[in-house]
Structures are given as structure tokens and as C-alpha cells.
Structure 1
Amino acid sequence: MTRIVVKVGSSSLSSASGGLDGERVDALVDALAAARERGDEIVLVSSGAIAAGLAPLGLTRRPRDLATQQAAASVGQGALIARYAERFSSHGLVVGQVLLTADDVTRRSHYRNAFQTFARLLEFGVVPIVNENDTVATSEIRFGDNDRLAALVSHLVHADRLVLLSDVDGLYSGDPRLPDSHVISDVRGEDDLAALDIARPSASAIGTGGMVTKVEAARIATGAGIPVLLTSAAHAAAALEDGPVGTRFHATGRRRPTRLLWLAHASHTQGRVSLDAGAVRAVGLRKASLLPAGITAVSGTFSAGDPIDMVGPDGVVIARGIINYDSAELPELMGRSTHELAAELGAEYEREVVHRDDLILV
């Protein structure tokens, strides 16, 4: 059994006028259902909620302001999931809606719960349909695009493969509109990407993504040991059968603890702590935990369990981690040893500010 996460973008599900294209949705579902019939497990990360809400609200293109985007998402998410549910039902399959915010993958208790939910849905034979919870996500704390979300979900559910479906056939050697450009069949690492011009977003009027976000998603997934196939939604059936289509990004790393992947790629940090030179060496070179004695300043408002940045004396971020104290507690602890703090304040203060298992160097 192969567990596949499939991501489809708004432009692949929408009509030229901006509304949901039912025929495109149906074609995608038919391909996914065929994969299920072969015994594969499918998790679908689907954009399209905002696009589906445009027509009912009388909008002709994706709004730029967050409030209107969230209104469109609120209207469109129901229409999108209803269409999926209807079409999957014709194949005898049940769908389950999973709406995530970035907070769900930065707080350990949240992502553990998310993993358990996905696991149980798959046990029941349900097809989870995932989207960012655009209705409540704030502009400061959000994934930003569903390509990144799909890569993180792939790691969360222990996927064997990630398939990114777009409106292009794959990663091209240059501008796809030029006759001498061609699809690159395999990407095995950064060296293969170095010569390509992929800094040019190709976002449509409907979606937010582009080739930049897809390559970044591929980096996240392959760096965690998950191979990625990028192709167009029209080739969904072949992609799910692992056929010779699109661009294959080969795994470059190995699976790492989930919380570290969240920290590296999903966390919007809530604040920062400044480290002295000794603490920078301890954290960066000796892979040690961060202790109160090495902190020189605290900025931002955060609570225990929040992700924070750790910066050196020059202001450069050296690491990111999960803090064990509230921001209000830290000022009186700075520069003091844990033994001194435990003697004065109690044994609960003889703990790390950030444990080495909960930080990642950047």
C-alpha cells in the first residue's frame, strides 16, 4: 500500500471566469478514486475555496484584501467540499474535511492531534481533503500557499510520495512559452536547480502559487525523504500510477522529527531571544540546549510552547526553537544559572529555556 499526498491548485479547478469548474473537479476525483481502487491511500490537499466563493459573491477575480478573501473562502469551502463529497460518493468513497492553520503545526499538542486525526480517517478508508483554514487564518500566521502545506502534511502523515498537480506539465528549463524550453524529467538536488530561472512566479488571477512555491515545497518534502512528482492536473491519472510524466524530485534527505520540520518551514515565530557569544557556540557548535545564563535580551510576546528565534550578538538568527517560558518570565532569569534559579525560585526553574531536541539551526 502506498500513501500519496496529492495537492491541486486553484487554477486547475477553476474556470476562466473564476468559479469552480465541476468537470475539472470530477476528472480529478475519478483519477484519485482509481488510485484508491488499486489499494493506495490518498490525502488530498486542495486549493479552490476562495475561487469557488468568487462567483456566488459576484467577484470577477481573487480579492487582495484578507477580509474579502476570508469571506470568499467561507462561502466557497462548503461548495468545494460538497462537490468532492458528491463525486467521491459515486465511487463509494467518503471524504473528510480537515482545515489547518499554521498554529496546528507549530504547537506540539496540535500537530500530534492532527496526526491522530489523519491516521483514524485513513483507517476508516476516508479520503481526507485538506486546506488552510483561510476563514480564520491571520495575515501574520498562515502557510501562505498550499504547496508548502502539502509538503508539511506529507511529512505529518508519513506519506510515501507527494504529487503536486498544477497548470503546467512540470519544471521547465526556461520560460515554458519559449520553443527551446523543455520539461526537466529529474531533479536530484540543488545542483540541478542552480542553472534554472525559477525566481519568476507564475501566479494566476485565481491562485497564489507559482513555480517558486512548488520548488520550495519539493525541497521541504525531499529534504525529509519524500519524493515529489510535479505535473499538470490533466496528467493526474498517470502521475498517481507513477508514470513517465512531469518532473521527479528525488529524495535528498531522511525523515526528521516532525517538530523540527515544522520549526524549519512552517513556524511563524512569536518573538526572539538574544544570545551571548558563549551561548551561540553552545547551541550552534555543541548542539546544546539554551539556558537562561546565555540570554542577553528578550523581545516579543510569547507563551511557553511558542516558536521563537534565537539570535547572536550581531542580530543574525542562528536557530529556531520551542520556548519553555513565557516572555514575561524571562527578563528576571537572564544571565543566571539554572542551579541559582532553582535554589531561589524552585525546582521547576531548573530547566532549559529551549531544549536541544526542540530547536533547529538555521
Structure 2
Amino acid sequence: MTSEKDSKRIVIKIGSSSLTSINGEVSRRKLEKIAEEVVHLKEDGFEVLLVSSGAVAAGYRKLGCLTRPESLAEKQASASIGQGLLIESYSDIFLSHGYVASQILITRDDFTDELRYNNARNTINVLLERGIIPIVNENDTISMDFLRFGDNDTLSAKVASLVDADQLIILSDIDGLYDADPRENEHAKLLREVNEITPAIEAAAGDPGSANGTGGMKSKIDAVKIALASGISTFLGKATTPTIIYDSVYQNAKGTYFKPKSNSPNLTSKERWIAFNSGPEGKIIINDRVKKAIMKNGTSLKPTDVDSVSGHFDQGAVVNILDTEENTIGLGVMNYSSDAINQIIHKTERHLLTYEKVAIESDHFVCHLHSEVLSTI
């Protein structure tokens, strides 16, 4: 079949409940269903990357646990068993269809470090361009709590942004986004298309619903925010629905389609890293005189524009830019360390700070990016 979307790049997030049996072990049948649809897309000319949960769920019974472990050490030990089982199953199934799968284990730290971020991007691009199917998962075996994504919904959105995906597909145990919790309200309606994550939509997001998973609807909405801000269409649907993956790519599936607005900014790779991954290291408070100028024109900050500096950071760090009422204006890349800035404030007209477009695209986008996206990461 020839598609008008040939060569487009698809990222598919698969949750633990979509991969494991009722006993918590990897379900060969579920994996084969997913693989068959991925292969179908590959034969149509798509590049496909999987962000797969399931390592802890696949391994904890082999560790001797009767239920999903609670302690970090037991989770990591379970993951060390389950990661091997999971990639072995994926690899065998895809090889039977003539495709090679690769494993990529990643931590949050790989995203916050710009060099490692770019290395990951380059590696995945090579794999996709060579026809390989990358299987990405968080490195649960070594990740510490403060370095964890917390769920693979967030990871999938960051990976989709990293590789400039055209579409993110999030598979779950629910049909899509409803205007109320369908488990509690029989009159809840499925939202077929959403262009903006409003407070009402966030209020409808519930708690985690699967015993084998970590992410609920709230984590999926947070992931959608990142994808929409990156200009990536996103689909949320039920993993057990027949041909859900294939149909979602061709806009025929039952579920919720999240589509970026036509005027969404086209962020560069650098800007996406700053917006979603950099982890601001300090704060700069600017005076009201310059606030409007940088919001409108994106001018760089001079020492006379800075009222105060908070936190310790080195040259090249990303920092939060605040007004005098401590409202977030944007993000900036520092040309000087915090110590140097404190020494030269009001003594030179040299530019201290280079703004990226991500921080000053427009009033609307700044508010959306920071209150709706950055605060959730």
C-alpha cells in the first residue's frame, strides 16, 4: 500500500498493562499483535520507534515477588531481569518478520545534558534511517529517584520531540480522553479531537488506574502538552482495540486525537532541549523597563536590565527569567556565571544573556509553554 505519509516518523508508547498478562509476565500474544501492526506500518514506508514499558512488570515474579515491588532496590532488580526478557521477546518477533530491533536504555540525565541529548538524537536517527526499530525504555536498573521520568508517557513525549516525530501514539487501557472519569460516570463522553489542554481537561485527568503501570491519565495529559508544544500530533487509545496502531496513523481509530494549533511555533532542536529538558539552574530577575522589549523583540539582556541573581550557575547554564513580581517570562542561556554577573551588574553594557525563541515567541506562547508545560516536567 502506498501512503501519502511515506517516510513519516511515528513514536509509539506502550504501557505495562498493554504488554503483560494477568499474572504480570510478558504476554507473547500482546507483543505479536503490536509487532504485526508495526511491521504493517514499516511496509507502508513509515519509520517507527517504540517506547516500551514492562521491564519491572516482566521481571518481578522472576525475582520472587508476588506483587509489583514498592522499594526502589526491588524495582531495579526486577527491571534488570525484565529488560532482558522484554527485548529478547521483541527481537525474536521482529526478526521473524525480517526486521531488526535495537534496545536503548535512557535516563533523565541523558536529556538534561545537552551533549548526551544530541548524541542520543544522532544515534536514534541513524537507527531509524537504516530501517531498524528502536525500543526505548528508561534505565530502571540504575536510575535514582531524582533522575527518573516517573512514567514512560513523559519519556515518550520527550523522545518524540528529540527525534522530530510526526506523530506520537500513546496506548493505554482506556479508549481515550473523556470529559469525566468513565469508571465513575456512565455518561462520560469520549473527546474525539482536542487542540488545547484546558484547565477543565486537566481536572478530568484521574489517578493511575493499572496495578502494573505507573502512569495515569494525568501523566498522559502532561505528555501531550510536551508533544503539542513541539508541534507533534498525538493519539491516545486503547491497546487491545484491533489494529489500533495502524488505524491511528491513518486517522481511523477510536480514541482521542490531539492536534497542534496551526500557529504553533516551529521549535528547533536546541529550543526543544531548552524548553523540555535543560533543567534551569538559577533565576534572573529583570526590571519592568526591559520586560516588554524582550517579550516583543527578543533582545538580549544587559547588566543594567538585571535587578538580581538567584542561585549559583556556570557560563552556558539555562536559567529562569522572572519579572519583579516573580512571574516567569522565559528561559535564557547565560553568557556569564552567576558570580561574574553579580560582579559586573550596572558596570558594563555587554550582553549577558542570549534569548532563544522558545522564551519569547509571543505572550500567548510564553504563558502556554511555562504554565502548561514546563511546570509539569
Give the TM-score normalised by structure 1: 0.85
Query: Does the 8 Å CA contact 2:298/2:355 hold for their aligned counterparts?
Result: no
Structure 2 partner of 1:288: 299
- 1:42, 1:196 → 2: CA distance? 29
Paired letter, 2:40 = A
- 2:78, 2:283 → 1: CA distance? 35
Task: Tell me whether 1:184 sits opposite 2:195 in the alignment.
Answer: no
Task: List alignment gaps of at least 5 residues for structure 1.
Answer: 340-350
- Cα distance 1:213–1:292, how it changes in 2: closer, same or farther (>3 A)? same
**1:239-262 superposed Cα distances (whole Å, 9 cap, x missing partner):** 323223211112222431223333
Q: How does 1:297-336 map to 2 (within 5 A)?
A: 297-336=308-347
Structure 1 partner of 2:352: 352
Query: Does the 8 Å CA contact 2:287/2:324 hold for their aligned counterparts?
Result: yes
Paired letter, 1:237 = T
Paired letter, 1:114 = A
- Cα distance 1:264–1:356, how it changes in 2: closer, same or farther (>3 A)? closer
- Cα distance 1:179–1:20, how it changes in 2: closer, same or farther (>3 A)? same
- Cα distance 1:162–1:209, how it changes in 2: closer, same or farther (>3 A)? same
Task: Tell me whether 1:198 sits opposite 2:207 in the alignment.
Answer: no
Paired residue secondary structure (1:264): helix
Bigger Cα displacement from structure 2, 318-327 vs 29-38: 318-327
Q: How does 1:63-212 map to 2 (within 5 A)?
A: 63-177=69-183, 178-190=185-197, 194=200, 197-212=203-218
Query: Does the 8 Å CA contact 1:61/1:205 hold for their aligned counterparts?
Result: no
- The structural deviation recorded for 1:212 is 1.5
- 2:314, 2:27 → 1: CA distance? 44
Task: List alignment gaps of at least 5 residues for structure 2.
Answer: 1-5, 361-365, 371-377
Bigger Cα displacement from structure 2, 283-292 vs 351-360: 351-360
Structure 2 partner of 1:348: none
- The structural deviation recorded for 1:186 is 1.9
Bigger Cα displacement from structure 2, 153-162 vs 269-278: 269-278
- 1:134, 1:293 → 2: CA distance? 46
Q: Percent identity?
A: 37
- 1:308, 1:74 → 2: CA distance? 36
- The structural deviation recorded for 1:159 is 1.8
- 1:184, 1:161 → 2: CA distance? 18
- Cα distance 1:229–1:170, how it changes in 2: closer, same or farther (>3 A)? same
Bigger Cα displacement from structure 2, 6-15 vs 327-336: 327-336
- Cα distance 1:59–1:312, how it changes in 2: closer, same or farther (>3 A)? farther
- Cα distance 1:21–1:354, how it changes in 2: closer, same or farther (>3 A)? same
- Cα distance 1:288–1:103, how it changes in 2: closer, same or farther (>3 A)? farther
- The structural deviation recorded for 1:152 is 2.3
Structure 2 partner of 1:256: 267
Structure 2 partner of 1:220: 226
Find 1:274's aligned residue among 273, 276, 285.
Answer: 285
- The structural deviation recorded for 1:126 is 0.3
Bigger Cα displacement from structure 2, 141-150 vs 167-176: 141-150
The number of equivalent residue pairs is 350
- Cα distance 1:303–1:102, how it changes in 2: closer, same or farther (>3 A)? farther
Task: Tell me whether 1:247 sits opposite 2:253 in the alignment.
Answer: no
- The structural deviation recorded for 1:196 is 7.4
Paired residue secondary structure (1:85): helix
- Cα distance 1:31–1:356, how it changes in 2: closer, same or farther (>3 A)? closer
Bigger Cα displacement from structure 2, 312-321 vs 293-302: 293-302
- The structural deviation recorded for 1:3 is 1.7
Structure 2 partner of 1:35: 41
- Cα distance 1:134–1:276, how it changes in 2: closer, same or farther (>3 A)? farther
Query: Does the 8 Å CA contact 2:114/2:273 hold for their aligned counterparts?
Result: no
Paired residue secondary structure (1:234): coil
Question: Superposition RMSD on alpha carbons, in Å?
Answer: 2.7
- The structural deviation recorded for 1:165 is 0.5
Give the TM-score normalised by structure 2: 0.82
Structure 2 partner of 1:342: none
